[in-house]
Amino acid sequence: MPYIISQIASGIVAGGILYLIASGKAGFDVSAGFASNGFGEHSPGKYSFLAALVCEIVMTAFFLLVIMEATDKRSPQGFAFIAIGLCLTLIHLISIPVTNTSVNPARSTGVAVFVGGWAMSQLWLFWVAPIVGGIIGASMYRFLGSEED
């Protein structure tokens, strides 16, 4: 629980810092989204709820699978950061147009609290999908690649 709380608090602090920077530009409008995650009218590409849900679940599942495989003791040591970094880059390239990319509830919460309204009302999806995706990714790792205990 302390880890989750610290992640959320850090996300909100980071969102506040970004808000201070972004609001320093004339014409800044937080209601435009401020990189909040969204679906439907609030998706960058106007993707549906279902598309956003599937995208976030699948991206999180594969991200977790890559992290677990790359950091496994049987994997070559010292290269995990390459696999993880390239995977996260690919996830962003795929999902920014769909949802603005979450795969991390703390990141989603950090900017949503500054946007309020629609961002807060859609935030639940960006908690549920990464949790479900994490469970799927961990299950895939356990089924496909982990050593038997």
pLDDT 10s digits, 9-58: 999 999 999 999 999 989 898 887 788 999 999 999 999 999 999 999 99
Q: Look up the domain containing 125 and give its range.
A: 2-144
Report if residue 10 sits inside a domain.
yes
Confidence of residue 148 (pLDDT cuts 50, 70, 90): low
Tokens representing residue 121 in the block:
């009302």
Tell me: the pLDDT tens digits for 84-115?
999 999 999 999 999 999 989 999 999 999 99
Report if residue 149 sits inside a domain.
no
Report if residue 62 sits inside a domain.
yes
Domain count of the fold of the chain? 1
CA distances (Å), origin 149, targets 76, 96, 142: 21, 38, 11
132: CATH: 1.20.1080.10
Calpha distance 95→98 (Å, rounded): 5
Report if residue 105 sits inside a domain.
yes
Report if residue 122 sits inside a domain.
yes
Report if residue 22 sits inside a domain.
yes
Mapping DSSP to helix (H, G, I), strand (E, B) and coil, where does residue 46 land?
Answer: coil
Report if residue 124 sits inside a domain.
yes
Report if residue 34 sits inside a domain.
yes
Single pTM value for the model: 0.89
Calpha distance 135→131 (Å, rounded): 6
